[in-house]
Structures are given as C-alpha cells and as structure tokens.
Structure 1
C-alpha cells in the first residue's frame, strides 16, 4: 500500500509541477500533462514493486535490477501503445554538436567524482559497478529525457519532433526527477531530503540540454552511467 500511496502522490506532485510552468510553453497542453504525470507515477510504481514484495524480485542482489527491468518494459509498452517515434525519444545514433557532447560527457564524469568526494560512498562491489554502469543511465534517461519530454510535447501517433531545446519541458522533467530522488514515504509519513533532490535536478537540467542539443539519448545515457561509476570509484581512493 505504501508503494501505491507514494506513486499516486508523486504523480500528483508531477502534475502540479507541470501546472506551475505549462503557461511558459504553449505546446504543453493539459491532456498531455495528465498523461505525463500518470506515466511517471506508474513508472515509480513498477520500479518499486520488488521493494514492496519480494515476490516481484526475480533477480537477486543488493540493487533493484528487477524494478529497472519492469520500468524498461513499461517504457516499451507506452512507446508502442502511443506510437511514439524513435526520433521523438532520441533513440538514434545520429549526433548533432558532437564536440559539445564530448565536453559535456567529460564534465559529467568530473561531476560524479566531485559528488563522490563530497558524500564519500562505501567501497563498491562488482555488482554495484555493473548496476551503476548499466541500469540507472539507460532506464532513467529513457523515462525522463526520452518518454516524459515526448509526452509533454504531445509527440504521439508518429508526430515528428521539432528542432531546438524545449527549456520548459527540460525544467519540468528535471524538477520531477529531483523530487523523485528526494521524496520518500514510510510509516504513513512523507519526508524530503533536499540534497538528494538538488543534485539529480541539476544533473537533469544538463542532461536535458544534452539530449536535445545532440538530438539523441546516447550521450545522456553515457553521461549518467559514467557519472554514477565515477561517484562510486571515489570510494577506492585511499581504501
């Protein structure tokens, strides 16, 4: 029940964030804002299923492999069901502004190292490196830099994406991503960790720019994955 309450609450908060900023971009409509919020709430719910019940965990380990796979499967269902074109999601290897993307990738790695030195994570296992190098970057970037922006922009039923960076959409999804990391619900009470929300929010602004500046999810996925690995690598310094 806690997972359902959190998912519904997160969907409602995401919709309120959408309402607060929708007027700054006329392409963003109420119907697609509702779809955006419902999708993020459902994604949170399926991602958290293994935590809610061990019956939903089909891959063991210390990390939520099963939840990320559920999220990925949901993404496939949503993309196919709504007819979202790969180009609208950034699912292409074709790159624009490659030099800027490479510089951004390097800066993301420095960002991960800096956060690791600041927060001092525990010494990682092989599983930790494997998970951080694959799942969060691939799955979360598809959700928050691929599908969520496409829904806000109404890019369904084969609609072609426009050029340029939709900054309001980038901002809305970044706020939602930050809240998702900072908000928690347990024992009938909500709590919010501002620091856990702030850094994902900042990274999402940069990741959203990278997604639309490059025209592809490739570099946002690489940047997210490399930054996560760099964060955990710092635990080996002086270990």
Structure 2
C-alpha cells in the first residue's frame, strides 16, 4: 500500500506543480472565503495565505508529510474520514497551488455531497469500489445534470471546481482513495451541514419555501447533528 500511495502522490505533485507555473492575466485565486479590505493595515492584518519562512532557514522537512499510508478511523455517522495534506499540514506547499489528501471509507461509508469552491479535485481509487458523481451548475435549459459512475481500484475521476460531488463505498470491505487539488486551500462546503447546520440558523421560512417542506420537517432537520467533510 505504501509504495502505491507514494507513486501516485509523486505523479500528482509532478503534474500539478507544472500546472501551477502557468501564468494567467487575472487576479490570484483567493485562499479564504473572503478578505475584507481595510484602510489601516496597522489595525488588522490577515494574509491571504501564509507568511513565508526565511529561505535561509528552510529545511527538507518543510516539504515533507509523513503518514498518508496510515488508515484513519471511520467510526462515525458517515463512515468516512479525510486526511488533509494542505499548506497548513505541509508548509512547503504554500504558494504552489496544489494539495493532496487521503479518504478512508468504512463498508458503505459516505463522503457526503460537498463542493470545493477553490479547486478541481482528482480522485484515484486505491482499494475498494466507489459510487461517485458530480452535479452541474444550473443549465440554460433548466435543471442540473448528474454525472454518476462506479469506480474501481486504479480508476481516476475528476470533480470540476465548485461543483457538488460525493463518493459512496458500495462494497462490504473498506475503501481508500487519494485526492489531489488544484489549490493549496481548496475549501469545502458540506451541503447538508451548511444548509441545516448554519450558526445562526437559516430562517425556517426560507428553507421551507426553498425545499417545499413543512416547517416541522425543517426544524427537525436543523436539530440534527450534521458532520462536516473535507
């Protein structure tokens, strides 16, 4: 398992690092949900990214993350667990525009519908069988198209940036996948958690009309615990 993970991650880093050097005549991609401008930088300062370490103090360990071959605990309501290797966990990724991770799935475990507002995701199945898919944004003709697929060991699938997607382990044994992102800070919005678990909560009037559900049903959904994903 370790050699397989190492080989795939090495290939991911190579391809995505090359892509990160392509220059575009646009503003840089944001690394947080918002960055409100202020006139007095002495009052508040929040960097859109991370401060840079003095190059003279950089070591090989700054570019190393260990343990992506270690299975994570999936004993939770969703039956899945995500190991992030973003700039926060691997400082050497800062400013390179890439990140990776590992997803462990219990039998029939789910990585629930979610989006990454700042990154496209490339998923490779290492073990098990996954039912996965993504949904388009609103189409000009109306509606949203689902792209469903069953993935097996060795399959690679792409989830376009910002689109809702999911994976479900449809096997009786644990499944494992590794993922690569086109941002050091992909962000994640877990749909159910964001809608029914927001603090303060979204108005029942808004949600009942949006989902065409009775107020009692909306209140029940808001009372549930909604775990997040990454």
- The structure whose RCO (Cα within 8 Å, separation 6+) is larger is 1
Give your verdict on TM over 0.5. no
TM-score class normalised by the smaller sequence: under 0.3
TM-score when normalising by structure 1: 0.23
The structure with the largest alpha-carbon Rg is 2
Between Structure 1 and Structure 2, the one with more helix by share is 1
